Amino acid sequence: MPFQINSFEQYLSEYQKSIDQPENFWSGIAEHFTWKKKWDKVLEWNFKEPSVKWFQGGKLNITENCLDRHLMEKANDPAIIWEPNDPKEKNRILSYKELHGEVCRFVQVLKNNSVKKGDRICIYMPMVPELAVAVLACARMGAIHSVIFGGYSAQSIADRIEDASCSLVLTADGGNRGGKDILLKDTIDEALQKTGHVKKVIVLKRLGNKVNMVDGRDVWWHDEIKKVESQGLKDTTAEAMDAEDILFILYTSGSTGKPKGVVHTVAGYMIYTTYSFVNVFQYKPGQIYFCTADIGWITGHSYTVYGPLCAGATTLMFEGIPSWPDPGRFWDIVDKYKVNILYTAPTAIRSLMGFGTDPIKNKDLSSLRVLGTVGEPINEEAWHWYDEHIGKHKCPIVDTWWQTETGGIMISNLAGISKGKPSYATLPLPGVIPLLVDENGHPVPGSDAAKDGVFHKGASGPTVSGNLCIRFPWPSIIRTTYGDHERCRVNYFATYPGMYFTGDGALRDAEGNYRITGRVDDVLNVSGHRIGTAEVENAINMHPEVVESAVVGYPHDIKGQGIYAFVTLGKEGQEKGVKKESVVSEVVRVIGVIARPDKIQFVTGLPKTRSGKIMRRILRKIAEGEMENLGDISTLVDPAVVEEIKKGKV
Ligand code: PRX
């Protein structure tokens, strides 16, 4: 494949070129894509505003790169293999030609429903091929998609619809996940009572359950497709998009307030996701690639849909969960489709590890060539289990570090090209310049991949640590937070001027490998999903009996981090005896099931300083089970409260 790195020496030389001459480097990669008009300027940037523009003047459509350009040679090759939740249901395979046809038809559906270029479209759908079709159809006509994961509540959906002023919602009557039916349309109905923006809802029939269809607002997907069939396909040309037009918004949690809409733009995102897909996984034509992430998350956007399809790969979409109908499901899928590349999350590996090796017996995993992980640090035990029982010591494991904001994989070994190291994401991809800074913002000596050398073979010496920053723009860097550019500046570019701050802490060993140690802000990583502690606190505080709360993370064997909430009740609540379950329900109502607290402890007060600041450090230690070295508690207004909290730990 073009721009595929074939050896470690080549990786080093490409890396060097990418930092010496980034514009030449990336324009060389961009040449391999289909453009309607070539760019005038490769890069213009400053991190102060911030403003980053790649390939200005260029015109293109990402779906021409995902679909049309494969129609000559790959028309009948499978683009998407879809495995349903219920293994007894028939699977579906869409060739590139079929997928192209479906996308073109759905573009016409959107246009028939008055969608125009630049409109924001909310997508709340199950993991079925129509979800990929929906995303691609938006991209093809220039509408901006905002996909919301099915685990978010009506309130979360309404907030996101308001924030982006979405005019149309794409949803389904429901979806299957494991043994459960998820009633998506009911949740949308509830959300739409909280916001007036949405004019139209297009509903896919998936479950066949009875749903409420609002006259004049709600239409069935299949009826709309029938209309297109009777109209005949009008114009299938993809919209000419500017390189820096918005491709999508994806909401993610931060340390303060409400979730922010991360904005990615067309050209840079396309180039970086494709480049990183091809290189990290070392994808070879004809291979079957299975990313287990839902399209509701960035991993699904970049590495289930856009990256693989741009590369002409076969991408496997799975509707269900790893443990249903039994914990051998992933391995059944690998066996059934002869999967070559498997990309999943440490939390899934840990939960499957818990079932032992019985579910793997009699499953043929010999097709596997490459394994990947994403979303959170992988502990050594899980890494070795994955290596031994799934990869049979024959498959490189790529530990890929990146974020919603980075659009694509930033630090990772390249499968079979650069070495993995358990619990290390290892080396930066070409074009990525990581460095670590100390508390005062000073670069930590020996931590800058470009200045200090990206790799020092066999070197031993001290491991350095600090806060992980990136000091040069890569093509798929976040452009803004939708509707609030200042928030983007403050969140990512103001902490350490001149650098993008990731919010993660990291170590760097003497050879140059980076190890991500976790968030240094108030963001939790629960089962590989980001959840802001402030967001959960806001939700808990909406409970009528709650006075205040403090949420911290604690180590969780399977989820990585669990959510621990310390909650104080008002007088009435104390007398009535509020149930913990009702606090949990409030969080589920406000945010969704993904933020469900694991532990609730009612306390009579929180440890606060005289200025009223909650001493989270103390709460974090208690939640972690550390009862002794709590540090100086003499500055607290009421040190006695700490004893009480220690005694009541759950
Ligand atoms: O803390 C890092 C962790 O996940 C965060 C990004 O979360 P999100 O935007 O939801 O994207 C997840 C999928 C890309 C990071 O700030 N993280 C992600 N990958 C890794 C990781 N931590 C350690 N190792 C990783 N491979």
Q: Is the minimum distance from the CB of 560 to ligand 1 under 6 angstroms?
A: no
Q: Is the dihedral of CA 23, 28, 29, 35 positive or negative?
A: positive
Question: Which tokens is 304 given?
Answer: 């289930």
pLDDT for the residue numbered 634:
85
Mean pLDDT calculated for residue range 465-483? 98
Instruction: Write the pLDDT tens digit of every residue in 99-157.
Output: 999 999 999 999 999 999 999 999 999 999 999 999 999 999 999 999 999 999 999 99
What string of DSSP letters covers 359-383?
GGTT---TT--EEEEESSPPPHHHH
Nearest to 529 by CA among 120, 184, 156, 47: 156
- Is residue 340 in some structural domain? no
Instruction: Write the pLDDT tens digit of every residue in 78-102.
Output: 999 999 999 999 999 999 999 999 9
Q: Is the pLDDT of residue 40 over 90?
A: yes
Mean pLDDT calculated for residue range 443-467? 97
Pick the atom of ligand 1 nearest to 516's CA. 23
- Tell the residue nearest (CA) to atom 13 of ligand 1: 375
Instruction: Write the pLDDT tens digit of every residue in 520-541.
Output: 999 999 999 999 999 999 999 9
pLDDT for the residue numbered 465:
97
pLDDT for the residue numbered 630:
87
Spatial contact of 195 and 178, defined as CB atoms under 8 Å apart = no
Instruction: Write the pLDDT tens digit of every residue in 41-52.
Output: 999 999 999 999
Pick the atom of ligand 1 nearest to 502's CA. 16
pLDDT for the residue numbered 423:
93
Instruction: Write the pLDDT tens digit of every residue in 589-615.
Output: 999 999 999 999 999 999 999 888 899
Q: How far apart are CA 252 and CA 261, in angstroms?
A: 7
Q: Is the minimum distance from the CB of 374 to ligand 1 under 6 angstroms?
A: yes
Residue 379: CB atoms within 10 A of its CB come to: 17
Residue 445: CB atoms within 10 A of its CB come to: 11
Q: Is the minimum distance from the CB of 504 to ligand 1 under 6 angstroms?
A: yes
571: containing domain: 523-647
- Tell the residue nearest (CA) to atom 4 of ligand 1: 375
Q: Is the pLDDT of residue 470 over 90?
A: yes
Q: Is the minimum distance from the CB of 403 to ligand 1 under 6 angstroms?
A: yes
Pick the atom of ligand 1 nearest to 373's CA. 26
Substitution site in 262, 297, 402 for ligand 1 pocket (most atoms within 8 Å of beta carbon): 402
- Tell the residue nearest (CA) to atom 26 of ligand 1: 401
Q: How far apart are CA 226 and CA 219, in angstroms?
A: 12
pLDDT for the residue numbered 239:
98
- Is residue 301 in some structural domain? no
Q: Is the minimum distance from the CB of 400 to ligand 1 under 6 angstroms?
A: yes
Nearest to 122 by CA among 197, 61, 50: 197
Please indicate whether residue 430 or residue 259 has the higher confidence score (pLDDT).
430
Read off the pLDDT band of 633 (50, 70, 90).
confident
- Is residue 312 in some structural domain? no
Spatial contact of 203 and 172, defined as CB atoms under 8 Å apart = yes
Substitution site in 299, 301, 349, 374 for ligand 1 pocket (most atoms within 8 Å of beta carbon): 374
Mean pLDDT calculated for residue range 559-569? 97
Residue 50: asked if its preceding bond is cis (omega within 30°), the reply is: yes
Q: What are the backbone angles phi and psi of residue 147, rounded to the nearest 5°?
A: -85, 135
Read off the pLDDT band of 336 (50, 70, 90).
very high
Mean pLDDT calculated for residue range 166-182? 96
- Is residue 558 in some structural domain? yes
Q: How far apart are CA 85 and CA 151, in angstroms?
A: 16
Nearest to 299 by CA among 401, 180, 165, 175: 401
Question: Which tokens is 134 given?
Answer: 């929906």
Question: Which tokens is 126 given?
Answer: 């199950």
pLDDT for the residue numbered 632:
84
Q: Is the pLDDT of residue 188 over 80?
A: yes
- Tell the residue nearest (CA) to atom 5 of ligand 1: 403
Q: Is the pLDDT of residue 257 over 90?
A: no
Type and span of the H or E element at 65 = helix 62-66
pLDDT for the residue numbered 71:
98
Which of 80-84, 154-158, 253-257, 626-630 shows the lowest per-residue confidence on average (mean pLDDT)?
253-257
* Dihedral (Cα; 378, 380, 382, 387), 10-degree rounding: 110
Q: How far apart are CA 250 and CA 149, in angstroms?
A: 10
Read off the pLDDT band of 407 (50, 70, 90).
very high
- Is residue 102 in some structural domain? no
Q: How far is the CA of 625 from the centre of ligand 1 (A)?
A: 25
pLDDT for the residue numbered 254:
83
Domain count within the chain: 1
Pick the atom of ligand 1 nearest to 378's CA. 24
- Is residue 551 in some structural domain? yes
Q: How far apart are CA 355 and CA 327, in angstroms?
A: 7
Q: Long-range contacts: 628-632, Cβ < 8 Å, 24+?
A: none
Instruction: Write the pLDDT tens digit of every residue in 1-11.
Output: 899 999 999 99
Q: Is the minimum distance from the CB of 470 to ligand 1 under 6 angstroms?
A: no
- Is residue 43 in some structural domain? no
Q: Is the minimum distance from the CB of 294 to ligand 1 under 6 angstroms?
A: no
Nearest to 640 by CA among 603, 613, 599: 603
Q: Is the minimum distance from the CB of 376 to ligand 1 under 6 angstroms?
A: yes
- Tell the residue nearest (CA) to atom 24 of ligand 1: 377
- The distance in angstroms from the start CA to the end CA of the chain is 54
Question: Which tokens is 564 given?
Answer: 């621990």
Mean pLDDT calculated for residue range 187-199? 97
Q: How far apart are CA 320 and CA 330, in angstroms?
A: 10
Q: Is the pLDDT of residue 256 over 80?
A: no
We report the CATH number of the domain holding residue 567 as: 3.30.300.30
- Is residue 580 in some structural domain? yes
pLDDT for the residue numbered 506:
98
